[in-house]
């Protein structure tokens, strides 16, 4: 039985609800994890998504900022959220889904962007980002994260040279600075995670999931970054069969998200 899981920073779920509904209808993932929903729980369009075939929902919202939500065709249990760094931000929600004989736990993250200045001594937002990554690493050191887990979402870091349009020009730009990429690589390797996207689309190929709104023609200039990730523990990674980055979604509608969906299939 195949299971498809998608992640998408939607950048305001109420503003872009029609795009989410279009994606659900066109691609029909079993599970969709959204980030930056920018609404409180009671404002989340739960009824509309249930009508679209996704009645099982785990939402951790926040007024005007941040917020994450997981939509599912399959029942969700053990819904929880963790406030990393005790910042009062809605940046995580987790849940369990029964996949055949495997209880699969999915952690949906929205890692802080980090502001514009890559110096934690003068930029509190960047310091928060680094502290958030440190807390993730400490949390994932727990033996419970050795199997049966997927972590995904907008990690706000493009870790490798071919995850950005210009490695040299972005080395001092937040999301691709050495301190960030090193921390993310340490997080990946220390937990023995598998990057499912790059497991199917090798590092030799340029790959992006985000394009700035500042570009007049995002597709022509193609100055993107791969900020959205799906990682799995070794047992789940062995079930991974494919990955698709839906580049076309960056051009959907008059007001698209600056991110696009990433889909992985387990079988």
pLDDT of residue 1 exceeding 90, the answer is no
* Number of folded domains that form the chain: 1
Q: What is the average per-residue pLDDT within 205-230?
A: 97
Residue-level pLDDT at 28: 98
Quote the pTM value. Answer: 0.98
Which band of pLDDT confidence, cut at 50, 70 and 90, is reported for residue 141? very high
Q: Which domain range does residue 148 map to?
A: 3-266
Q: What is the CATH number of the domain that holds 181?
A: 3.60.10.10
Q: What is the pLDDT of residues 108-140, one digit of tens each?
A: 999 999 999 999 999 999 999 999 999 999 999
Element (DSSP H or E) covering residue 25: helix 17-27
What the block records as the tokens of 79 is 């819904």
Q: What is the average per-residue pLDDT within 22-26?
A: 98
| Residue 224: closest CA among 244, 250, 252, 243 | 250
The residues near 266 (Cβ < 8 Å, ≥ 6 apart) are 2, 3, 4, 5, 99, 236, 239, 240, 241
DSSP per position, 182-205 = HHHHHHHHHTT-EEHHHHHS-TTS
Where would I find the H helices in 105-233? Answer: 124-140, 167-170, 178-190, 196-200, 218-221
Which band of pLDDT confidence, cut at 50, 70 and 90, is reported for residue 254? very high
* C-alpha distances out from residue 2 to 6, 91, 140, Å: 13, 28, 27
């Amino acid at each position: 039985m195949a299971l498809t899981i998608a992640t998408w920073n939607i950048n305001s779920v109420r503003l872009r609800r029609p795009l989410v509904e279009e994606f659900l209808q066109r691609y029909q993932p079993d599970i969709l994890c959204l980030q930056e929903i920018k609404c409180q729980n009671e404002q989340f369009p739960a009824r509309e998504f249930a009508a679209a075939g996704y009645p099982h929902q785990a939402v951790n919202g926040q007024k005007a900022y941040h917020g994450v939500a997981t939509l599912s065709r399959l029942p969700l249990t053990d819904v929880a959220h963790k406030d990393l760094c005790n910042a009062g931000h809605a940046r995580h929600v987790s849940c369990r889904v029964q996949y055949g004989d495997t209880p699969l736990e999915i952690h949906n993250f929205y890692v802080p962007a980090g502001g514009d200045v890559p110096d934690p001594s003068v930029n509190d937002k960047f310091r928060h980002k680094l502290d958030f990554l440190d807390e993730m690493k400490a949390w994932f050191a727990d033996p419970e994260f050795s199997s049966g887990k997927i972590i995904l979402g907008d990690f706000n870091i493009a870790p490798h040279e071919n995850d950005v349009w210009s490695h040299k020009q972005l080395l001092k730009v937040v999301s691709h600075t050495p301190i960030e990429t090193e921390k993310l690589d340490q997080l990946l390797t220390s937990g023995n995670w598998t990057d499912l996207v790059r497991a199917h689309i090798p590092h030799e190929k340029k790959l992006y999931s985000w394009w700035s709104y500042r570009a007049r023609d995002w597709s022509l200039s193609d100055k993107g970054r791969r900020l959205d990730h799906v990682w799995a523990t070794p047992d789940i990674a062995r079930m991974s069969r494919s990955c698709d980055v839906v580049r076309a979604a960056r051009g959907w509608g008059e007001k698209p998200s600056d991110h696009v969906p990433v889909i992985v299939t387990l079988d």
